[in-house]
Chain A
Amino acid sequence: MKAAEFDYVRATSIDEVCDLLDEAGEHKIIAGGQTLVPLMAMRLARPALLIDIAEIADLRFIKVEAGELRIGAATRQVDAERSALVRERLPLLAKALRWVGHPQTRNRGTIGGSIAAADPSAEIPLVAVTIEAQAVARSKTGEATLALTDFFRGPMMTALQPDQCLTEIRFPLWPGRVGSGFHEVSARASDFALVAAAAQLALDPSGVCTRLSAALGGIGAGPMRVSAPAAALVGRRLDQAAVEQAVAFIDDEIAPEDDQHVGADYRRRVARVLLARAILEAQDEAARAA
């Protein structure tokens, strides 16, 4: 399984990347390569030019700015996993990262890379969609801010244009008593999710839910927000019965399909199960928060 021939350039700046992307030809950006290289080994991806952005310092950072946790697109997953800032300010991402591949793949794989690869059951895109994160993309013509809720167009397909490079992912930070939950079922511990559920909620001082975001992975072409839980649960105190009832309504919003791994019915049923668990975990965490 040797890749088809290609040319390679190690870019040293974002401007250089944009210039290269502006030229004609089949080019692909590589950062960690954990998704791309297997595709190239199987000759399912055959770029003529590989643009390596892994060492552009301007693309590797984790900071809080303007009420957002901002992560450079070429930041390694392991660095986000080890970051105190991520653990403290965005626990939902910290939880999800533990499910992403293996320690060895997290040593190379990047936050932006996972977003750009758009595997329908990937964890980082699911988190991004849950809390309505945004991505910044640069091209020769300028910079664009993209809503990630409208970014994942299908399996391995995104709204990114061929001349654009992701530079930054911006995760909004919620104030107040916030809790999150992330649950996934996979065949083996490190496999891609068959179904995944993410939830984040906020409680007021009396314990009433004031805000709730929920999303599912593995139930369609990409990660998908579901609105039924918020509609049913915002404005009240959550308990197990209320949550289970609320998640039953997601059926109307999702249209999973059969594939070689599991059937549509499995995804439908298990989505409810995992989402309830995620919401209840978020509730517990928020209740314990100061």
Chain B
Amino acid sequence: MSAAPQFRYIARKRRPKEDRRFITGAGHFVADIALPGMRHVALVTSPHPCARIVSIDAAAALAAPGALAVLAGDELAAATLPLMVGVDTPKVRRYPLAVGSARYAGEWVAAVVADSRARAEDAAELVAVEYEPLPFNLDPERALDPASPPVHPDHGSNILLRKQFAWGPVDEDFRRAPHSIKYRARWGRSATVPIETFGVLAQWDPGLAILDVWASIQMPKYPDQIARALKLPGNAVRVHFDVDVGGSYGVKRGIKHTVLVGYLARKLGCPVRLIEDRLENMQGGDMHGPDRIFDVELAYDGDGMVRSMRMRALDDAGAYTGRAPLQLGKPIGAIVGPYHIGSVAYEAISVTTNKTVQEAVRGFGQGPTNFALETGIDKIARRLGLDRNEIRRRNFIRHDEFPYRIPSGSEYDSGDFHTVQQKTLSLARWPALVAKCDRLRAAGGLAGIGLAGCLEPSGGNSAFEPLLNDKNDTTTWMEAVRLRVDGLGAVTVVISTSSAGQGHETLAATVAGEVLEREPDDIRVVRADSLTALPSNSPVGSRMAIMLGGATAEAARRLKAKLLAIAAHNLGVAAERLAYDGGSVTVRDAPERCLSWDRLVHIAHRNFHLLPPGLEPGLEVSHTMQVPTGGALPTADERVQMYPCYSFEFHVALLTIDRGTGKPHIHDYFIGHDCGTVINPDIVRGMTMGGIAHGIGAALYELFQFDGQGQLVSQSFMDYLLPSAHEIPHIEMVEHHTPSPHTAFGQKGSGEAGYLGAPAVIASAVNDALAPLGLAIDALPIRIRDIEAALAGRGETTP
């Protein structure tokens, strides 16, 4: 679809501003910052999955060349508050360093500070820790058993959260439906694993009593949580948001790293830096993702219409609460996917085991949930002998039914799932694709086509927090922007968040330029620090197109209104008679009467005597925007509006399997993507393809694998398999644009695009290839060994 004609800059190709510094190696990442006197941290980690810490002897470490300090958990716990948790588990206390016991292999037990990272590692080897191994559990289903060894004895069990929801007459709908199907789908533990690990640098200025923090961060309320943990006033922490973040996709919430480094910086009186090495990151960085068992029942009729769903989602949070339990809550906002499912019973269970802790991962649980649901849709189709496109067509919510309220209370704003599906099938040249698959099968191969239609809830509104935790009453989910035209007429937008490649600078400049009708390439975007910042909740939940875009648009509108007011006053006419064009203002029926941009700027900045009464001098507007459709607590019957805008993606993939080795190969990949109005096409395309690559990784390659002794065996890039260019096929993409009624330009979010549907389509393709053999694999990742074992079990492997 070509750019909508009504936009001047939006939806048109534009080179992203941010790219300019990266192509010359001039990015500003946290490890690029060197402060005078900076010292370096290395970690001492637990080799045991569960063990009491008997003693820590740092004498030899402190005597090592260049060693400055060794910090252990007791000292840190006495000086700081435990890290904040989203659900009500006060007895599950988490500090940056283990206190009393280490609860997973790789947990940080002590921190060593030295004058170089190498010497910190030398000294860390000399820290002598005596452990008393304790019983441990690695099995989330066993964690449900009260007899399983508790990871946190004070908490009383291994269950962090267990909540059941019933929206609508589920039992009755199941009784009335002629058929039902029950299945288990497993989402293996993977995560986003950015190429840059987490890093943080902190410096305490005792004169100003300010802790300066630079970090590779993507986290709401980061400055607040630092201050709180370190028992500092909120205005004693200054986070610098102008640090480039080398990828995050959710996980870079290194609050434990930051509290550790902040404490050390204050204690030692020098800047302290921790850049995780890859081993520290994989094992102890606490950035693992959902590790989930879905047990699903779907009630359906003979036409394939799904009437009701029961879903139990059991998630293995690892050894501390982290964000894992809440990642069971967000999918409630799209729990029926794009389908007319009339009632839902949902049980969310989060348990502790002796594994690494989870952090927020791209989609915050939506990807696994989409996979679980799409698995069932395919199974029903197969049972009924119904075409898998047709079953989706029948069940999709229709274009004319929006806004559409789902049983759990969220309203889907807009969508046209049928058209996106149709456009994708056309892009895929569907009949030819089917013929290609048939030819491959006729030649004796295993070939399959995968299909998936999935929602990307966007806008970020953490209504899942009060939904899963009665004690949480947060309903504010805002973003703010300051827009300024300086005395020389140049435009600057001030944003209050760091970025990890999402193109926020380009987004803000394009939106400001659109409204002010000024060239976006001339609009500068800068980042405040947390002391000068306006409220922000960070780029999470695919929210920035909506929120940063919305706040910028409104600020720009108000700034434009100021210009019009100045013009009206100086031209002596009512505002309705004025036309604004490219920043200058003319009288509509007397165009020779005009005030240029430069003249208006001059008046605003210098001619107080020419300003309309009541107007502030200068040209500066701040605007704080609340998420559209948000702002309310859940109802008594546990329904709540979650995210405001729903993007949609439809995937088609052709995949073959080598019968002899079990190795899959993706031949063709197509995606249809609808995120409403697209502000920058190349940015959205890039994130969508990146999300698909990430999803292919989760589907076929990536797994944090633990052995029976609780050791993470996939702890380096040799064993945790990130897809390279060899593994990602050429992807063709078609766009559709169903605008959202809630946003300035109809834009919806799309940072999680691709990832939320790719795992489902890959599983669908594998199972379509295996279906003629009566085989199915419903656990991700589907690795070579899993496919080959399934084939061998049927005697199906052939050279």
Contact call A188/B701, Cβ cutoff below 8 A: yes
CB under 8 Å from chain B, chain A span 246-277: 247, 260-263, 265-266, 269-270, 272-274, 276-277
- Min CB gap A43→B, angstroms: 8
Residues in A neighbouring B716, C-beta threshold 8 A: 42
C-alpha spacing A187/B125, complex, angstroms: 34
**Which of B132-140, B146-154, B720-728 lines the interface with chain A?**
B720-728
Instruction: Please name all residues of chain B whose beta carbon is closer than 8 Å to the beta carbon of A260 when the two chains form the complex.
Output: 705, 707, 713-714, 719
Q: Using a CB-CB cutoff of 8 Å, which residues 173-219 of chain A contact chain B?
A: 185, 187-191, 194-195
Contact size range, A:
20 to 34
The interface residues of chain B lying within 8 Å CB-to-CB of A269 are 788, 792, 797
What are the residues of chain B within 8 A of A190 when measuring CB–CB? 724, 726
Q: Please list the 4 inter-chain residue pairs (A to B) with the smallest Cβ-Cβ separation, ordered nearest first.
A: A273-B660, A189-B726, A2-B118, A185-B661
Hey, which chain A residues are within 8 Å of B799, CB to CB?
A: 244, 247, 272-273, 276-277
B224 CB-CB contact with A under 8 Å: no
Question: In terms of DSSP, what is the predominant structure of the interface of chain B?
Answer: loop
B558 within 8 A of A: no
Q: What distance in Å separates the Cβ of A287 from its nearest Cβ neighbour in chain B? A: 19
A263-B789, A273-B660 known, 18 other contacts, Cβ within 8 Å: A2-B117, A2-B121, A43-B121, A188-B721, A188-B727, A190-B724, A190-B726, A247-B799, A260-B714, A261-B785, A263-B785, A265-B789, A266-B662, A266-B784, A270-B660, A270-B662, A270-B797, A273-B798
Determine the residue in chain A with the shortest Cβ distance to B713. A260
Query: Residue of A at shortest CB range from B658?
Result: A185
Does any Cβ of A come within 8 Å of B279's Cβ?
Answer: yes
Q: Is B278 among interface residues, defined by CB-CB distance under 8 A? A: yes
Taking CB atoms and an 8 Å cut-off, the chain A residues in 134-187 that contact chain B are: 185, 187
User: A188 and B726 in contact (CB under 8 A), knowing A266-B785, A266-B788?
Assistant: yes
Cβ–Cβ contact B723 & A266, under 8 A: no
Interface positions of B from 750 to 799, Cβ below 8 Å from A: 783-785, 788-789, 792, 797-799
A26 within 8 A of B: no
Closest to B700 in A: A187
**B714 contacts across to A, CB distance below 8 A:** 260
Kindly identify, within residues 472 to 515 of chain B, every residue whose CB is under 8 Å from any CB belonging to chain A: none
Give the distance to chain A from B594, nearest Cβ to Cβ, in Å: 61
| Bound CA span A191–B792, Å | 24
A24 at the interface (CB under 8 A from B): no
A-side contacts of B784, CB under 8 Å: 185, 187, 194, 262, 266
Contacting B661 at CB < 8 Å: which of A1, A4, A273?
A273
B122 within 8 A of A: yes
- Chain B positions within 8 Å of A2 at CB level: 117-118, 121
**How close is B298's CB to chain A, nearest CB, in angstroms?**
33
Q: 22 A-B Cβ contacts within 8 A?
A: A1-B277, A1-B279, A2-B118, A5-B122, A42-B279, A187-B701, A187-B721, A187-B783, A188-B721, A190-B724, A190-B726, A247-B799, A260-B705, A260-B719, A261-B719, A266-B662, A269-B797, A270-B788, A272-B799, A273-B797, A274-B661, A277-B799
- Beta-carbon contact of A188 and B797 below 8 Å: no
For the complex formed, measure the closest distance between the CB of B132 and the CB atoms of chain A, giving whole angstroms. Answer: 26
Chain A residues within CB distance 8 Å of chain B: 1-5, 38, 42-43, 185, 187-191, 194-195, 244, 247, 260-263, 265-266, 269-270, 272-274, 276-277
By a CB distance below 8 angstroms, the chain A residues around B122 are: 4-5
With both chains docked as a complex, state the minimum distance between the C-beta of A155 and any C-beta of chain B, in angstroms.
14
Interface residues of B in 266-293 (CB under 8 A from A): 277-279
Q: Does B663 contact A (CB under 8 A)?
A: yes
Expressed in whole angstroms, the Cα–Cα distance for A276 and B659 within the complex equals: 14
Taking the closest CB of chain B, its distance from the CB of A11, in whole angstroms, is: 25
Nearest A residue to B121 by beta-carbon distance? A2
How close is A34's CB to chain B, nearest CB, in angstroms?
Answer: 12
Query: Is B117 touching A189 in the complex (CB atoms < 8 A)?
Result: no
Per-position 1/0 for B661-680, Cβ under 8 A of A: 11100000000000000000
On chain B, the residues within 8 Å of A4 by CB distance are 122
Closest to A240 in B: B799
- Per-residue interface assignment for chain B, residues 18 to 33, with 1 indicating a CB less than 8 Å from any chain A CB and 0 otherwise: 0000000000000000
How far does the alpha carbon of A94 sit from the alpha carbon of B206 in the complex, in Å? 64
Name the CB-closest residue of B to A191: B721
A276–B117 Cα distance when bound, in Å, is 51
Q: Mark B303-322, 1 if CB is under 8 A from A, else 0.
A: 00000000000000000000
Mark contacts of B116-133 with chain A using CB atoms, 8 A cut-off: 1 yes-contact digit, 0 otherwise. 011001100100000000
A59 to B716, CA, bound (A): 33
> Do A262 and B785 touch across chains, with their CB atoms under 8 A apart?
yes
Q: Which chain A residues lie closer than 8 Å to B121 at the CB level?
A: 1-2, 43
Q: How far is the CA of A265 from the CA of B117 in the complex (A)?
A: 44
Does the CB pair A265–B792 fall under 8 Å?
yes
- Nearest Cβ distance between residue A164 and chain B, in whole angstroms? 28
Is B660 within 8 A of A277, CB to CB?
yes
Interface centre among A4, A263, A266 (most CB of B within 10 A): A266
Q: Which residues of A contact B278 (CB under 8 A)?
A: 1
- Chain B, residues 357-376, CB within 8 Å of chain A (1/0): the string is 00000000000000000000
By a CB distance below 8 angstroms, the chain B residues around A261 are 719, 785
* Alpha-carbon separation in the docked complex, A38 to B118 (Å): 15
**Of listed A3, A190, A270, residue having the most chain B CB within 10 A:** A270
Q: Given the complex of chains A and B, what is the CA–CA distance between A149 and B536 in angstroms?
A: 65
Interchain CA distance A5-B724 in the complex, whole Å: 33
Give, as a whole number of angstroms, the nearest-CB distance from A245 to chain B: 11
A11 to B126, CA, bound (A): 33
Q: How far is the CA of A195 from the CA of B662 in the complex (A)?
A: 12
Docked Cα-Cα span, A276 to B797, in Å, equals 13
List A contacts of B783 (CB < 8 A).
187
B723 touches A188 (CB 8 A): yes
The residues of A that contact B719 with a CB separation of less than 8 Å are 260-261
> In the complex, which residues of chain B have a beta carbon less than 8 angstroms from the beta carbon of A270?
660-662, 788, 797
User: Is the beta-carbon distance between B663 and A185 smaller than 8 angstroms?
Assistant: yes
Which of chain B's residues have a CB closer than 8 A to the CB of A263? 785, 789
A195 to B723, CA, bound (A): 20
Which chain A residues lie closer than 8 Å to B660 at the CB level? 270, 273-274, 277
A194 to B125, CA, bound (A): 33
Across-interface contacts of B707 in A (CB, < 8 A): 260
**How far apart are B438's CB and chain A's nearest CB, in angstroms?**
24
Rounded to whole angstroms, the CA-CA distance of A190 and B662 in the bound complex is 17
Residue in B117, B122, B716, B788 with the greatest tally of chain A CB atoms within 10 Å: B788
